[in-house]
Amino acid sequence: MTGHDYVTEADRELEETYEEPMSLAAYVDRIFENPTIASHASKYLLEAIEAAGTRTVVEEGEEKERYRFFDDPHNDGEHAILGNTEVLNGFVDDLRSIAAGRGKDEKIIWFEGPTATGKSELKRCLVNGLREYSKTPDGRRYTVEWNVTTAETGDRGLSYGVDPTAGDDQNWYESPVQVHPLSVFPEQVRSQLLADLNAELDDHVPVRIDTELDPFSREAYEFLEERYRREGSDDLFSAIADDEHLRVKNYVVDHGQGVGVLHSEDEGRPKERLVGSWMHGMLQELDSRGRKNPQAFSYDGVLSQGNGVLTIVEDAAQHADLLQKLLNVPDEQSVKLDKGIGMDVDTQLLIISNPDLEAQLNQHADRNGMDPLKALKRRLDKHRFGYLTNLSLETELIRRELANETEIWEAESYDELEARIREPVTTTIKGQDGDTRTREFAPHAIEAAALYAVVTRLDEENLPNGLDLVDKALIYDQGFLQEGDTRREKDEFDFDDDGNDGDHGIPVTYTRDTLAELLQTERDRHHPELDVENVVMPRDVLNSMAEGMANAPVFSTGERSEFENRVVPVKNYVFDQQESDVIEAIMHEKRVDEETVAEYVEHVYAWETDEPLYNDRGEEVEPDPLKMKLFEIEHLGRFSEDEYQGNLPRESVRNFRREKVITSLNRHAWEHRDEDFSAANVDLTAIPVIKSVLESHDWDDVSRTFEDFDPRQWDDPPSGTETAAVKESTIETMVAEFDYSAASAELTSRHVMGQVSYRWD
């Protein structure tokens, strides 16, 4: 594309975003065609969230419906809020009650949680989502602008010092607080209009516009009303609302225009932070008729900017003095510019804080009924963000922080997520010598960091017997736990739903900083031919995270001790994953093909159920006991000749076939009962014991397949030996099939073989 093409594309986008101003009557006709554009603030925010749709996620081992709005879809996921789906759903439920006027109108929504839990992302996500929604046809947002310049009388009206004889477009002034266009109508007419609109609205949340004109617009309205009353106009409202004086225009919701954000560093008296301040120089310029003129007000306070959609108080503990001033805003929907000048506001109030705000609010709690903050606390509707307790989400978050990967992870099955969790990360850095070099976090390195962080956040009280915190983390992420041939669903475990999961633990910022330091640290150069100084291994990550806590001020003494003790099971789990990779790479060419497995399953199914079995020629045949026996001995590795009488299975084999194979097939048949089920078209990976045959091996398989293999020779195997041949093919497979580099494959396999060699005999 040329520079001109880019400019043309920008023109096209703005043309789709903005409309030409319209008359008030045209706007009313428009809202009867599309009522969503007239929504009040809380309803508008709710509609923006719902418009993005939902998707299904698994968090803490349970399926939940998640609003895509919080994935920041309009911004390619850059400020997505990962996890906390149940908290966000609770927020939307409350928002729905507020929008419908069902008893929560006076509530101020409060998001609280420890540092680095996504609260800042919530603010950015809300602003991004509202901005983009306001550019869509259903999300258009409108306000009014006025022109009362009357050159013939010499009255400067709303000219703000502009020459009244200037071009017409220079004399239009927009409501500084995005007042709703229907506020122009007298209250009785507006009520009838809304009743007619809601009667046609197929929605459980009616449109409610209870606000009057803002002071700036009221000044214009009264000026025009006085003028036309003096002239004896018969149609006074029509004269005031004539499109020569009043027109409706759309605006894009953004900071300062529909969204007000009060930052932690913002200063000023409460009145300034809330609504703005008087500009005394302007009072002298304007004809105020002996009083303060609302045209001379800045309207740069958080409520003024957020009027019409959303008001956010960020880091609310820094503005605790302001919160009490907000008490009556939600239920009375008004605030004062001055003693004599009030302003109606329609905005959804939302405050964000760390736990320190709650400590401030509870400072007088021991005074019981005499607590001066009781009224404020009653109006706060708290939603608590916690640390992520899902391995996949924490891995995704670390990759965002470390490598700026903002894509939202969506998967059809957990196998897809599992593959992403273990993926390496490669990045380029510049050393002190000025040279750039590529650094690799080996497969499972980011997974190790994420799992360790999650394990520190889990409550180990009332942990079910036989499980450790790694098991709990896996159940939370997958929704189940695979133990050999047995798959146990989360609801089979007795977890304490009132536990403290996610309340504290290693924050992602600590993990990110530790990993970033590892990138800059020169690795050992014991094997320069492998360029291993550029590889960060999982054990490097875990050691650095555990050792770095001693000097990290973010952790208390008790937390350091607790978290350091939790690293061992994580190391063991990660080693198991590395070991599995190496074994599968060794056995890659020796895996049983699906056709052989399918044949075994069909024969077992026919053997148990008396279902007919057909050969390739379509002829009905009997189940072959020899084929089943050979598969069970050679491929499953479960049984010996002693467990058969000839080719016929003894009790232990018969029980295995019924409990492990047939039961899984029956479960699959039940789950797919509306489909044409048969053993031939079943997904073999749905049967745990068969999945293990297709996808996993152990060292017994390696020893049985490669009789002369010796792991003690792995580092430097003698040429011409079976060990040398196995190593060469293993490294090639790890690189080609498992996302390893040659260096990380070498280091991982050496680490695994070093542990295996001790117990090889």
How is the chain split into domains, by residue range?
A: 37-154+166-383, 391-532+544-561, 589-672+681-757
The pLDDT tens digits for 684-702 are 656 666 666 556 778 888 8
Specify the range with the lowest mean pLDDT, choosing from 4-18, 225-239, 401-415. 4-18
- List, in order, residues 6 or more apart from 443 with CB less than 8 Å away: 422, 423, 424, 581, 738, 739, 740, 744, 748
Mean pLDDT estimate for the chain: 85
What is the SS3 assignment for 480? strand
The band of 454, judged by pLDDT with boundaries at 50, 70 and 90, is very high
HSE-CB of 334 using CA atoms within 13 angstroms: 13
Average pLDDT over residues 449-455: 97
Q: Was domain 37-154+166-383 assigned CATH 3.40.50.300?
A: yes
Q: What is the pLDDT of residue 33?
A: 92
Average pLDDT over residues 717-726: 93
What is the SS3 assignment for 314? coil
Q: In whole angstroms, how far apart are CA 86 and each of 216, 473, 697?
A: 42, 18, 39
Average pLDDT over residues 732-741: 93
Specify the range with the lowest mean pLDDT, choosing from 40-49, 225-234, 367-376, 699-708. 367-376
Specify the range with the lowest mean pLDDT, choosing from 127-131, 401-405, 664-668, 735-739. 664-668
The band of 462, judged by pLDDT with boundaries at 50, 70 and 90, is confident
Specify the range with the lowest mean pLDDT, choosing from 282-291, 430-439, 482-491, 563-572. 282-291
Burial of residue 256 (number of CB atoms within 10 Å: 0-12, 13-18, 19+)? middle
Q: Is the pLDDT of residue 88 over 70?
A: yes
What is the SS3 assignment for 402? helix
Q: Is the pLDDT of residue 676 over 90?
A: no
The pLDDT tens digits for 701-718 are 888 888 899 999 999 999
If phi over 0 gives left and psi between -120 and 50 gives alpha, with beta otherwise, what is residue 395?
A: alpha
Cα dihedral: 300, 306, 307, 313 (round 10): -100
The band of 488, judged by pLDDT with boundaries at 50, 70 and 90, is confident
Average pLDDT over residues 111-116: 88
The band of 510, judged by pLDDT with boundaries at 50, 70 and 90, is very high
510 within 8 A of 479, measured Cβ to Cβ: no
- Model confidence, pTM: 0.83
Give strand pairing partners of 334. 344
The pLDDT tens digits for 578-612 are 999 999 999 888 777 778 888 888 898 888 887 88
The amino acid occupying position 666 is N
* Edge-first strand listing for the sheet containing 535-536: 425-430, 436-441, 535-536
Q: Is the pLDDT of residue 524 over 60?
A: no
The pLDDT tens digits for 185-204 are 999 999 999 999 998 887 77
**How many whole angstroms separate alpha carbon 305 and alpha carbon 760?**
71
- The structure tokens listed for 752 are 């695994």
Average pLDDT over residues 47-59: 93
386 within 8 A of 454, measured Cβ to Cβ: no
* Percent of the chain topping pLDDT 70: 86
Q: What is the pLDDT of residue 162?
A: 42
103 within 8 A of 220, measured Cβ to Cβ: no
Average pLDDT over residues 554-563: 91
* Percent of the chain topping pLDDT 90: 48
Q: Is the pLDDT of residue 285 over 70?
A: no
Q: What is the pLDDT of residue 61?
A: 85
Average pLDDT over residues 613-623: 85
Terminal-residue alpha carbon distance, the chain:
67
What is the SS3 assignment for 173? strand
Q: What is the pLDDT of residue 672?
A: 56
Specify the range with the lowest mean pLDDT, choosing from 74-83, 130-139, 277-286, 543-552. 277-286
Give strand pairing partners of 645. 648
The band of 431, judged by pLDDT with boundaries at 50, 70 and 90, is low
